Chains A and B, each alone.
Chain A
Amino acid sequence: MSTIDKNDMTHFRKLELKQHGPVYRFFNNMLKNPYVLIAPAEIIALGTTIFALGYCIFMSFMKWDMITGERTFVGLYNYKYIFHDELFLTSLKNTIVFMILTVFVGVIFKVLIGVFLNKNKPLHNLVQTIMFTPYIIATVAIAVIFKYMMMPNGGVFNSMLAKLHLPTSEWYMGTKSALMSLAFISIWQGMGYGVLIVISGLRAIPNHVYEAARLDKAGRTKTFFKITVPLLSPTIFYLLVTSSVGAFTTFDIVAMMTDGGPHNATYMLAYYVYMQGLRFMNYGRAMAASVVLLVITSGLSIINFTLAGKKVHYQ
């Protein structure tokens, strides 16, 4: 120890231990009690999620007379009804097409652009930062700007296409192009997030793997397919699942831009549930449709969780 004058610790009195009062002890013990700490979150979670979900499943087997308020058990009637409902089948088909478009096209671009931007150079980082912006901006703002730019007459997109002598499109107003347009906007909005996740996945791959590949004279293409893609597969898988769940629950962009039109071309599952429930007051049908939605998304989530659990082992 350093040399200091010899006045020793002896001149400090021993600490007096205080006796805590009952109030202190009560609160101190409360805070040590985990059940007290989790109570608010548990109560709200039980009420807004578990109970609501149970209610939803229960109600999907009921018929609710709006005039008398009477509820009768009808078994699978609601399910039978929606599976014979043209509109439901259309929206299911639209949702699947929309999912395939956004998930596969989206993820391929996210991976490619992620690999391209993962250089940690100022320009690359700037572009990556800018790409992320749409993700944190309200979808409403994105919907109105694309509505404006995608106008068939006088919209930016068509006038640019015309200038390049390319065929123009009706965009979200055309029966054939509407779903594609929404998919495009959806991919555009989620691109930055996907790229960010891909880059963070890439950063987790140890550099020595790439160095070993370079010493083994592996070219760029070979490195990408034999090293990057396999080692990135957990990330890619995560993106696939989250974006397919996202696709199945797409609502905002439909309600804001097309209201399911034109000619039901963009009518999707989530929008169907909303319209049946709050617009047409067909509670039973709406809830049956939402249970179908639940089965699909939780199936996807379960796959995600089990495979995500597996991935830990080989890392």
Chain B
Amino acid sequence: MDQFKKPAKYKKKNSLVGKILECLLLAFLFILFVLPFYYMVISSFKTTIEAMATKPVFWPSKWVFTNFRDAWKEANFSKYGLNSIIISASVVVTCLACSVPAAFAFGRLQFKFKKPLFAIILSDMMVPVQCIFLPLFLIFAKLGILNTYGSMILLFTYSGSTIFFIRNAFMQVNNEVLEAARLDGASELTVMFKVTFPMVKPVVVTMALMAFLRRWNDYFWNLSLTTNDKVRTLPYAINSLNNATDGALPRWEVTMAGATLLMAPMLIAYIFANKQIKNAFVYSGIK
């Protein structure tokens, strides 16, 4: 092997310095993105004094669990939390009930005016919410449905992107399979739910998850389509927790406890299903 010389400018693939730099950078990113969450959770166990200390406390000397109870009470979790759950869960149901048949039609059937009708479906992806919240507020007021669950659910029932992505999934389904089912004597209902639907299920589940997520995290519509607290949800309550101090100093440990409670369901869902959730976003991002 001696006759084969190494090239003069032979570079080692991974030098030690490079490795160290890589690790440092990873550590930096890790801290940058974990620290805020860590600090939020840890602060929700602090005493008021430690929470307000000028020297930040990263490990409480005394663990206070009552902050969660206070947050629950002050942010009225039993009311806003219930609102959040009722509305988010309903939205998942209505959103799918509205999106799946429409997506099936746009993905699998041919009909007149398909293009303009589909353009209407996609319109919400083009129009910023700031252009429609005020007209909607006025319309809903006129209809007398402000501050109702129905109006809050209605708004998230239709989502252009959801229909768009389920439609794409339907378009991927091999037409021969559907024809085989019809030859097997299946009714259209059977074709849709027993044959086609299982093949697009991963996408539909993902979209359901995103419908829930959108509604659970929403703050804007909470604020702009209501005039009282009746149907407002958790994000609104948590934000008020931070503001409703009446001149008193904010109790950060309670706010942090409330925020921790708010994000807990999403965080837990993400820990268990992070691959799926990330895929959902990649999927809906790339057109």
Contact = CB atoms under 8 A, between A and B. Distances in A.
The reply, when asked whether chain A contacts chain B directly with Cβ atoms under 8 A, is: yes
Contacts of B54: 153-154, 159
Interface of B: 22, 25-26, 29-30, 32-37, 39-40, 43, 52-56, 97-99, 101-102, 104-106, 109, 111, 114, 117, 120-121, 123-139, 154-155, 157-158, 160, 163, 187-189, 192, 213, 216-217, 219-220, 223-224, 234-236, 238-239, 241-242, 252, 255-256, 259-260, 262-263, 266-267, 270, 274, 277-278, 281-282, 285-287
15 contacts: A42-B117, A49-B120, A49-B123, A50-B123, A55-B138, A132-B274, A136-B266, A137-B267, A141-B263, A144-B255, A149-B36, A154-B53, A201-B286, A249-B129, A287-B135
B96 to A, nearest CB: 11
Given A37-B105, A130-B30, A144-B241, 4 more contacts: A138-B266, A287-B131, A294-B128, A297-B128
Contact of A193 (B138, B192, B281): B281
A113 B29 contact: yes
A270 interface: yes
B104 A255 contact: no
Contact of B192 (A31, A46, A56): A31
A3 B138 CA distance: 76
A245 B129 CA distance: 12
Contacts of A274: 130, 133, 223-224
A167 to B, nearest CB: 17
A156 B286 contact: no
A201 B177 CA distance: 32
A41 B158 CA distance: 6
B102 A148 contact: no
A144 B25 CA distance: 27
A45 B124 contact: yes
Contacts of B43: 148
A138 B216 contact: yes
Contacts of B216: 138
Q: Which 5 A-B pairs have the closest CB atoms?
A: A44-B158, A37-B105, A34-B105, A138-B217, A41-B102
Contact of A56 (B36, B132, B220): B132
B157 A44 contact: yes
Contacts of B241: 144
A139 B219 contact: yes
Contacts of B219: 138-140, 252, 255-256
Contacts of B239: 140, 143-144, 256
Interface residue SS majority, chain A: helix
Interface stretch (A6-14, A72-80, A121-129, A173-181): A121-129
Given A45-B123, A129-B278, A153-B54, A37 B29 contact: no
Contact of A130 (B33, B124, B126, B277): B33
Contacts of B155: 48
A143 B235 CA distance: 11
A97 interface: no
A140 B256 CA distance: 11
Contacts of A149: 36, 39
A1 B52 CA distance: 81
Contacts of A278: 134, 137, 224
A103 B267 CA distance: 27
Contacts of B255: 144, 148
A129 to B, nearest CB: 5
Given A45-B123, A130-B30, A298-B126, A193 B285 contact: yes
Nearest to A41: B102
Contacts of B39: 145, 148-149, 156
Contact of B286 (A44, A197, A294): A197
Contacts of A37: 101-102, 104-105, 109
B154 A140 contact: no
Contacts of B37: 133, 145
A248 B154 contact: no
B124 A132 contact: no
- Residue of B36, B236, B263, B274 ringed by the most chain A CB atoms within 10 A: B36
Contacts of B188: 28, 31-32
Interface string A95-125: 0000000000000000001001000000110
A290 B134 contact: yes
Interface in A138-196: 138-149, 153-156, 159-160, 188, 191-193, 196
B134 A40 contact: no
Contacts of A236: none
Contact of A49 (B124, B154, B223, B277): B124
A45 B114 CA distance: 15
A48 B281 CA distance: 25
B236 to A, nearest CB: 8
B29 A154 contact: no
